[in-house]
Structure 1
């Protein structure tokens, strides 16, 4: 029973990380209709920025804030400086561009920050909690991860469901021509979508790095599992991203704990194939009539 609860809590924490990255993919898909395969190296770069700030100032939270700000700027620069030139053309052009950016950012990070493994601090303890005489297999940083993902989920739901800004972002993504006729500044909305998605991606990078070692490729596995989580729940659904991340994290944790860790990638691939065959839009996908 102890192993079951340990595996369960580990799966929830791992799933929250996948959910954070899936939310970044969901945000950029909802606001621009683009799947950004460079999301992981962008998060890696901002994590290195945070590490540099922490090393120089000794403040984790200052580095945390700077990383999120760096993500905001990086996302806007990528959209304005690169993606803007292929928008409105073939969707494949944007995909190829993000894949190219994936390679370029890895190379630049290796040159600027080096290939050495570096320890990244955590703001809370990395030891299991001790409550009422019982050891609980979840750390303070794990609880922080769960809370952070819940907050981001709530903010995204509020953005797209209750604000005019969210409506303008969705309109710019779905029908830019009509949005322009209605007075929406589509270019700014697309830039904002990339910037906000990069902020959420930066958060995912910080959650992955906390208490672990960072190097230029440390986010590569997360982009795979995060993408599977996003597809599992539905790329267009923030709730689906969270549920997909948690379900995937739990599934992989139990496979690793009760079978073998070597089966984890195969399990993730099997889940992805199954979802694409049974429900290609994801578990939370729906088709509804849209009224103006």
Structure 2
């Protein structure tokens, strides 16, 4: 039985329903056009995307309704960790805030075209990345696009990129439940989504937005793999004392997971070395393998591998 949060928008029929974009509750929704277009008939590009991703085994969405909880950092470090034993591709669909090229140390690289399409940027032999950040004239250039153009570039990342055979494809998403989220769910409808990893921080202001993301996943029929509580306390590198920087006043991610029947994949404490690793485009698990945050990340990686 679906356990929909009490504050969910019950008037939304869900982007996969026959009434998507047409129901009374859709009136005035900024995503009405996207949903109604999908409901009117199948996208002719879906078979091409399915064929392109035929050799990609697991597709994971990294989601959170809240901004600033560390989705891009987590996506990059998860990709680095998985690529030690798997072939991994990362799709940066945070179109207006493409930070992964910097976090993964390839911000000065270019995307090349071949007879088979765009070639993703290779971070290592087993890790590749596609981001609009590679296509901007300079790192300070703003992406000021409306929904249809953002949806178009996401489709190109899936349809026109010559991805190698992959064990995992990770999608770094922007905050919220808007254009980019609807687009990637609809474009992967036929090729399949293995699951969503939902990120939060312990405080209630983040958990409120995460509830909306969980509701989106259920209405869009995206399997929820579990929740990761990021910035879960701060462990002093000197005395190893742990402090609650963001106090879990309502029980944090554990209480949320217990309430909604979702697995808690783990907690990652704050560590200044994580920020340093991102600034220098490094794998945190390699640069500080014994830190509490790296140990926690390694456990989460094992749980994700066991669930796919």
Q: TM-score, normalising length from structure 1?
A: 0.28
Which structure shows the higher strand fraction? 2
The TM-score, its normalising length taken from structure 2, stands at 0.27
Q: Larger % of helix: which? A: 1
Q: Which has the higher contact order (CA 8 A, sep 6+)?
A: 1
